[in-house]
Amino acid sequence: MEKILEIKNITAGYDKEVIIENINLDVYKNDFLAIIGPNGGGKSTLLKVILGLLKPFSGEIDFKTKLNIGYLPQLHSNDKKFPISVKETILSGLLSRRKVMNKFTSEDIKHAQELIEKFHLENYTDLPVGELSGGQTQRVFLCRAMISKPELLILDEPNSFVDHGFSVDLYNILLEMNKEITIIMVSHDTGVITSYIKNIACINRTLHYHSGSELSSDLLDQYQCPVELITHGKLPHRVLKDHIHNGD
Amino acid sequence: MFEIFTYPFFINAMITALLASITCGIVGSYIVTKRIVFISGGITHASFGGIGLGYFLGINPIITASIFGVLSAVGIKAVSSNTEVREDSTIGIFWAFGMAIGIIFIYLTPGYAPDLMTYLFGNILTISQADMIYLSVLTVGVIIFFFILFKEILFIAFDENFARTQNVKVDLINYTLIAIVALSIVVNIRIVGIILVISMLTIPQATASILTKNFRTMIFLSIIFGFISSIGGLLISYDLNIPSGASIIFSSVVIFLVVKIFKSIMR
């Protein structure tokens, strides 16, 4: 498989406090990689390093080619009064094209419209984003991440606000996209670990990688990963091998 | 009282009011939207150091105030994003330090500062040719900058981290914007004074925000409200013989209240 991204010996954190240590991780083309772990374990920190938003203390991120990245940040309380509409927010995902002053083309608008329909946002297009609910805002941000037709989609907790009904739709959309693009998804949610995911990285300061071959092996009765992996309904669930700690 | 519309000094004041309304309408909408009103207050007062220095050196205080304004704007941003000092504390330090420097220089200057009050309270009626040229150049610069980078400015203000992942030159645009904010503040000090300048950059925008949630419309409405306040303030100032800065702010608050009440009734 073709490697698109190599994370080499990354140690990073904030204000000299180490959050993640000696992280090594390869990401392959058309991978659907889930990064899971407890709160404060360093999931978002790792994403920020990959995205270049946080400079690591040591180590390097090696992109094999220049990638167009779509990013869904973790939802934080956004400014309710900010004067930007749903449609404008979605189109802001096209900033990377870097054509200064270019008007959005009719093709862009059409693509935005398709995403708006896919994510059931038709009734909100002209509303300010700040007036939407958490789940709606998250859907708007998903559209923003996808509109540039990225080669790598990085999602930080995509299902934390999306209601359960839409959650399944979302994974179907992602599964469809995954045929052409690579997806890295962070989650602490239990429902995420579905059969769509190809590889899993458990992170809690250090990283344990569970490759796809391991994931398809037989189920165990006990859940030994530090994260709960129980899914609801008819979605199949999986259990990972125990971590082998050096020196434990 | 309408014969004053034919007096050259009044026509100058109206041109100044129009240019200032455009600059403040655009820059103020950014300040209000980005929620950097307090930084702007810090820059305003820090630039007083430049006014003092201008008196001391015997050059146009607006020039030295511009230098002080831009340096403190960039300084506040750089200190708060690169050190452990909190942003609001940094603003407080720059705010007071600029004022202190200004007072020191004014006291060191031989004689007395003849039109110091102009800088504290402003006077649109006595604006000099040089200041008008400066304001014109700035207005044109602000229009061009916002016209070209409108989307980038809005999207960075909304979600800076996302913009970074899109390879936008976020830091360059942010530092340029804060420098533009500083220059716009300084040139307006001449019109409404240090104490009142922040209101030129916030009240018309607050009024516009009552009516729209679109950034572009907010800018246009702010310009209109700013201009109406300025002309209204000028007339009151002429009629009652009071400082124009205060009467301009007074009329802008009246407009704010009228729009607010109008909106409540319509609802």
Question: Any idea what the CATH number is for the domain that residue A7 is in?
Answer: 3.40.50.300
Task: Check residue A108 and report its DSSP letter.
Answer: H
CA distance B39 to B182: 10
Please give the residue of chain A at the shortest CA–CA distance from B163: A95
Q: Are residues A42 and A60 in the same domain?
A: yes
* B68: containing domain: 2-194
| CA-based nearest residue to A50, from A58, A40, A41, A60 | A60
Nearest to A83 among B33, B159, B166 (CB): B33
Please give the residue of chain A at the shortest CA–CA distance from B150: A101
User: Cβ–Cβ of A96/B155 closer than 8 Å?
Assistant: no
**CB-side exposure of B161: number of CA atoms within 13 Å?**
17
Work out how many domains chain B is built from and give that number. Answer: 1
* A113: containing domain: 82-150
Helix ranges, chain B (H): 8-34, 37-46, 48-57, 61-82, 87-108, 116-121, 129-148, 150-158, 160-165, 170-192, 197-200, 203-211, 215-240, 244-266
Residues of B in contact with A89 (CB under 8 A): 158
Nearest to B33 among A73, A82, A98 (CB): A82
Query: Quick check: A43 and A37 in contact, CB under 8 A?
Result: yes
| Type of residue found at A213 | S
User: Cβ–Cβ of B214/A85 closer than 8 Å?
Assistant: yes
User: Cβ–Cβ of A83/B214 closer than 8 Å?
Assistant: yes
| CA-based nearest residue to A7, from A69, A52, A68, A73 | A52
Q: Are residues A111 and A138 in the same domain?
A: yes
- Tens digit of pLDDT at every position of chain B (267 positions): 667 778 888 889 999 999 999 999 999 999 999 999 999 999 999 999 999 999 999 999 999 999 999 999 999 999 988 888 889 999 999 999 999 999 999 999 887 766 788 888 888 888 888 899 999 999 999 999 999 999 999 999 999 999 999 888 999 999 999 999 999 999 999 888 898 899 999 999 999 999 999 999 999 999 999 999 999 999 998 889 888 888 999 999 999 999 999 999 987
Q: Which of A128, A150, A172 is the last residue of a domain?
A: A150
3-state secondary structure B185-213: HHHHHHHHCCCCHHHHCCHHHHHHHHHCC
Say what the pLDDT of residue A248 is: 42
A57-90 pLDDT, tens digit each:
999 999 988 888 999 998 876 778 899 999 999 9
Handedness of CA A147, A153, A159, A161 (dihedral sign): negative
B230 within some domain: no
| B window 86-145, beta carbon within 8 A of A | none
A90 within some domain: yes
- Residue A98's region, left for phi above 0, alpha for psi from -120 to 50, else beta, is left
B262 within some domain: no
The reply to whether B163 touches chain A by the CB within 8 Å rule is yes
Residues of A in contact with B165 (CB under 8 A): 51-53, 69, 71
Band of pLDDT at residue A246, cut at 50, 70 and 90: low
A117-165 pLDDT, tens digit each:
999 999 999 999 999 988 899 899 999 999 999 999 999 988 777 777 7
| Nearest chain B CA: its distance from A207 CA (Å) | 24
- Complex-level ipTM: 0.85
CA distance B52 to B102: 4
Say what the pLDDT of residue A215 is: 56
SS3 assignment, position A71? strand
Say what the pLDDT of residue B5 is: 79
| Nearest chain A CA: its distance from B83 CA (Å) | 10
Query: Quick check: A204 and A164 in contact, CB under 8 A?
Result: no
Say what the pLDDT of residue A21 is: 92
The reply to whether A68 touches chain B by the CB within 8 Å rule is no
B239 within some domain: no
User: Cβ–Cβ of B161/A73 closer than 8 Å?
Assistant: yes
Report the run of H or E that residue A150 belongs to, with start and end.
none
